[in-house]
Amino acid sequence: MRTEEISTPKRTKEIIARHGFSFKKSLGQNFLIDQNILHNIVAAAHLTPDKGALEIGPGIGALTEKLAQTAGKVTAVEIDRRLIPILEEVLSPYPNVSVEQGDVLKVDLKDLFARHFEGVSGVSVVANLPYYVTTPILMKLLEEKLPLENIVVMIQKEVAQRMAASPGSKDYGSLSIAVQYYCEPQLVCTVPHTVFIPQPNVESAVIRLKVRDKPAVEVEDEDHFFEIMQASFVQRRKTIANNLKSRYFPKEGRERLEELLQQAEIDPSRRGETLSMEEYAVLSRVFLQAGIR
């Protein structure tokens, strides 16, 4: 007989009660109790038995179980020590799953990949992320340039919209550019509060980030590119010229800055939110050529 899925509300409550587990809001613990959502998340990652999946924050293993039934190898990193014995118990039918206790922001992911994903044809990150650390986790995954195919994550809806936003829209900002530099984002679905226990007090969405083979634009110096882009958004309502002046030419007149913007073919009266990623790449190149860092 097939055992009941971990994620049904009844079984989730039973596991939690039997282990005397109490939710910690500070760790973003909102567990999924809906089969359809779990199915949609896993489907968006395009996993097959020759692929690996890295899950961040498995909770009591609801998503982990679905991943174990779809991918060849699954590794889950969970910060909360109290969940480890629960995970060992509920995931015992799945020999292709390993669980590590730790803070994903501190874990050596290259080492983890070498230990767990040898021989798989590709790895995706699939997770219902703890919302309080969504951006640091995603930026760590992307900046370390791990060999990832997809990142499919449940996150706060507002953050998902910012990641997928296009130039000129109100949601477009440095997060959109940072994510889109490495990935092609696609909103998979928005999610009602009722699929979690306890229910979060923000709206949620699932986003798929298809990791690009190479970044979307060619830049000479990534740190400089990200810095100039971030400086352009420091005060959203200011023009690009005003923002860049505060950061790069605080004590000088505007002539030099306007000359550089002209070289980059960017009107100084535009706002940072209207520039495309390509325009930021050109701007960074022009500044670097002029020795402005």
Helix axes 277-289, 174-182, angle to 10 degrees: 90
Residue 103 binds to ligand SAM (criterion: CB under 6 A): yes
Name which position in 42, 45, 52, 57 contacts ligand SAM (CB under 6 A). Answer: 57
Cα 168 to Cα 148, 164, 184, 277, distances in angstroms:
29, 12, 18, 12
Residue whose CB is less far from ligand SAM, 88 or 259: 88
Cα 115 to Cα 59, 71, 96, 108, distances in angstroms:
22, 17, 13, 11
Residue 206 binds to ligand SAM (criterion: CB under 6 A): no
d(CA 183, CA 208): 9
Q: What is the DSSP letter of 47?
A: -
Strand order in the sheet with 73-78: 97-101, 73-78, 52-56, 123-128, 148-156, 204-211, 183-191
Residue 78 binds to ligand SAM (criterion: CB under 6 A): yes
Residue 104 binds to ligand SAM (criterion: CB under 6 A): yes
Name which position in 48, 50, 85, 105 contacts ligand SAM (CB under 6 A). Answer: 105
Residue 99 binds to ligand SAM (criterion: CB under 6 A): no
Residue 65 binds to ligand SAM (criterion: CB under 6 A): no
CB of 40 within 8 A of CB of 186? no
What's the min distance (Å) between Cβ of 256 and ligand SAM?
Answer: 44
Site for ligand SAM in 112-141 (CB under 6 A): 128, 130, 133
Residue whose CB is less far from ligand SAM, 58 or 122: 58
Segment lying near ligand SAM (by CB under 6 A), choices 50-58, 219-227, 246-254, 267-275: 50-58
**Phi/psi class of residue 129: alpha, beta or left (left: φ > 0; alpha: ψ in -120 to 50)?**
beta
- Length of the chain, please? 293
Name which position in 44, 45, 53, 63 contacts ligand SAM (CB under 6 A). Answer: 63
d(CA 102, CA 33): 24
What are the tokens at 282? 């050109």
Residue 195 binds to ligand SAM (criterion: CB under 6 A): no
- Contacts with ligand SAM, residue ranges (CB under 6 A): 27-32, 56-59, 62-63, 77-80, 83, 103-105, 128, 130, 133
Residues placed in the known binding site for S-adenosyl-L-methionine:
30, 32, 57, 78, 103, 128
Residues placed in the known binding site:
30, 32, 57, 78, 103, 128
